Amino acid sequence: MKYLCLAYEAEQDLKSLSREEWLALRQETLDYVAALRERGELIDTQALQSPARARVARVRDGKRAVTDGPFAETKEQIGGFFLIEARDDEHALEIAANWPSARIGGIEVRPIEPELREEGRY
């Protein structure tokens, strides 16, 4: 089963790391990515640029509105994602908990809906 894992992090927490701490975290992440790929558990992963670069597009009454974003009332934002293949929910949570940045942020684990169901989205 596929799961999308969203890595939440506080940008300030990452900026406060020393260069050595950042390089160690980066290397640990790259090593974990390689191990997951080797085991066939990682489908894709990407980091996102700063939330300061984010924009939100909405269409209301046929008109597009674009705002800076995100404006969540939290210090943590989505810093990246990884798409995994796992046996079940528990296996997916194990993979997420071992993602190195889970120690400084949080990883949301959400099962992928294989198709857009006719009976409703949720």
pLDDT, tens only, 17-69 = 999 999 999 999 999 999 999 999 999 999 999 888 888 899 999 999 998 87
What's residue 50's pLDDT? 85
Three-state DSSP state, 51: helix
Q: How far is CA 113 from CA 13, 95, 110, 117, 121, in A?
A: 32, 19, 9, 8, 9
Distance CA 30, CA 21 (A): 14
What's residue 102's pLDDT? 95
Report the pLDDT averaged over residues 104-117. Answer: 92
Is CATH 3.30.930.10 correct for 2-111? no
pLDDT greater than 90 at residue 11: no
Tell me the residue ranges of DSSP E strands in the chain.
Answer: 2-10, 42-47, 55-60, 63-68, 76-85, 106-111
What's residue 70's pLDDT? 66
Token pair listed for 119: 């009976």
The pTM of the full predicted model, rounded to 2 decimals, is 0.86
Please report, for the chain, the start and end positions of each structural domain, with discontinuous segments joined by +: 2-111
Q: How far is CA 112 from CA 3, 18, 54, 88, in A?
A: 5, 36, 24, 12
pLDDT in tens, 56-97: 899 999 999 998 876 666 678 899 999 999 999 999 999 999
